[in-house]
Every structure is written in structure tokens, then in C-alpha cells.
Structure 1
Amino acid sequence: NYAILPIGGNYTMDPDDAVIASNYIDCDKIIGVHYDTFPVIEIDSKVAIESFKRAQKTLLLPAIGETITL
């Protein structure tokens, strides 16, 4: 199963909050959204991915315009 969660922080949850949210909804594959589109919501992608790996989860970070087939 997949979940689409905002991870940009400031106006939405940040990656660490998204790990917690993914636990609440019992989901281990997360597609991150609402990040890196302007400076105040830029994330460190490597750190975010590692946070999810530590929780034994997968974080997908699609580029703008990229599609993901589920």
C-alpha cells in the first residue's frame, strides 16, 4: 500500500512527522509531496530517505512532472 504525504515542513509536516503519520496509518511506502518547490519548504532528500529507512519504510521523492506507476 502507498500513502501520499506532505513532507516540506513549515506549512505541512516535515519528513520526521511523516514517518510518525505513516505509522498511524500503517503504511510503509510513502510518496512525498509539497517539498522543494520554493526555499521555505526545501528538504534534504538524503536525510529524509534515511529517516524512512530507519523506520523500515520507503520514501519516494518524484521530480516535478515525474509519474509513478503503482
Structure 2
Amino acid sequence: VEAFLLRDRIGQAFEAVVIDVDQRHGDGQVQITEPAVIARCDGDLPLGEQVVVRLSRADPATREVRFTLAG
């Protein structure tokens, strides 16, 4: 559902909160509020902080949603 909702918004920036960090892979999970989505995000993420992310992938066929840290 998330990938379908976001499929036309590739490249758009969103405010998000970092909810998990994976130091080994250099990514983590973020949550955006509108629409309410939790997804992977590439970048050096500060756990618990609000950040701006950019939607880099939303593929309904694979149900994958991916963000990158903006800036």
C-alpha cells in the first residue's frame, strides 16, 4: 500500500523521524507522517531526530519504498 501511495512522488522531500539506525549498512528506518509510512533510508542517520528525506524509490510491484537523507 505504501509504495502505491507514493509511486508518483519520487524525488519529493518529506519531514521524517529516524526510528532505527543500522551502523553496519549505513542506513536505517524513518517514519513520515503524511502519508503515514515507515521505510528504509540511506545515509548517516541521527537516531530519534527529525530529518528531511527524499523519496528515491516507490515500487508497487516489489512493495519497496526507499528514501535518502536530503542535504
Q: With the length of structure 2 as denominator, give the TM-score of the two structures.
A: 0.23
Structure with the higher helix share, 1 or 2: 1
Structure with the higher strand share, 1 or 2: 2
Q: With the length of structure 1 as denominator, give the TM-score of the two structures.
A: 0.23
Where relative contact order (Cα < 8 A, 6+ residues apart) is larger, the structure is 2
